[in-house]
A and B are shown apart, each in its own frame.
Chain A
Amino acid sequence: GESVGLHLPTLSVQEGDNSIINCAYSNSASDYFIWYKQESGKGPQFIIDIRSNMDKRQGQRVTVLLNKTVKHLSLQIAATQPGDSAVYFCAESDTGRRALTFGSGTRLQVQP
């Protein structure tokens, strides 16, 4: 079946640096992508989403980039803060699927 995967299970960055979390997907029909942040002991929280008719979308300190040619999605976090330490999930769907498909997650550790 289709799958959504992440390149690195753990990413460690220095406070103040920019973070980039990557996600590869295999479903060429995927047309909606979303990032979630999950802090310890909490449920996933929405960060940002993007549709396939866009290449880039920006939020507050976050940017999502979509490269449909190579089926790659990335989440960029500017000026990473200790509060950004969490597990980040990407997920995707297409019009033929009834629900989101999630990746396995990347843990972001922010070093002071």
Chain B
Amino acid sequence: DVKVTQSSRYLVKRTGEKVFLECVQDMDHENMFWYRQDPGLGLRLIYFSYDVKMKEKGDIPEGYSVSREKKERFSLILESASTNQTSMYLCASSPWGSTNEKLFFGSGTQLSVL
């Protein structure tokens, strides 16, 4: 089975802090994604990556950046955390050729920005 692991289940940070959310997948998938999940809004795509060092903006990239230095790892960075970035963050991966099809999700990181 594909395993997508997010390093933290819960995080509490202060406004203005730089925050790193880490995600690792073990199935050699080319594509990796970061979504945020808010009640009533479903899942919204922040960024995705289709190869090492390659990235594309999703629907809500403002306030975020990403890093993919190795195939198995995809990091989401909040340069200066704000309270409106309090949310559940979900990482996902998929194999080559299917950035818009079946995704395998991690368990999520619940981030609270105070």
A residues engaging B (CB < 8 A)? Answer: 4, 9, 32, 34, 36, 41-46, 49, 89, 91, 93-95, 97-100, 102-105
| Bound Cα distance A36, B103 (Å) | 10
Residues of A within 8 A of B56 (CB): 98
Complex contact A93–B105 (CB within 8 A): no
Picked from A4, A93, A105, the residue with its CB within 8 Å of the CB of B100 is A93
B 27-51 contacts with A by CB, 8 A: 33, 35, 40-45, 48
- B102 touches A (CB below 8 Å): yes
- Please classify the interface of chain B as helix (H, G, I), strand (E, B), loop, or mixed, using the class held by over half of its residues: strand
Residues of B within 8 A of A89 (CB): 42-43
- B64 touches A (CB below 8 Å): no
Residues of A within 8 A of B107 (CB): 41-43
Complex contact B105–A104 (CB within 8 A): no
- B90 touches A (CB below 8 Å): yes
- B99 touches A (CB below 8 Å): yes
Minimum CB–CB distance from A36 to chain B (whole Å) comes to 8
Complex contact B102–A43 (CB within 8 A): no
Picked from B42, B90, B103, B105, the residue with its CB within 8 Å of the CB of A103 is B42
**A43-B90, A89-B42, A89-B43 known; A99 and B106 CB under 8 Å?**
no
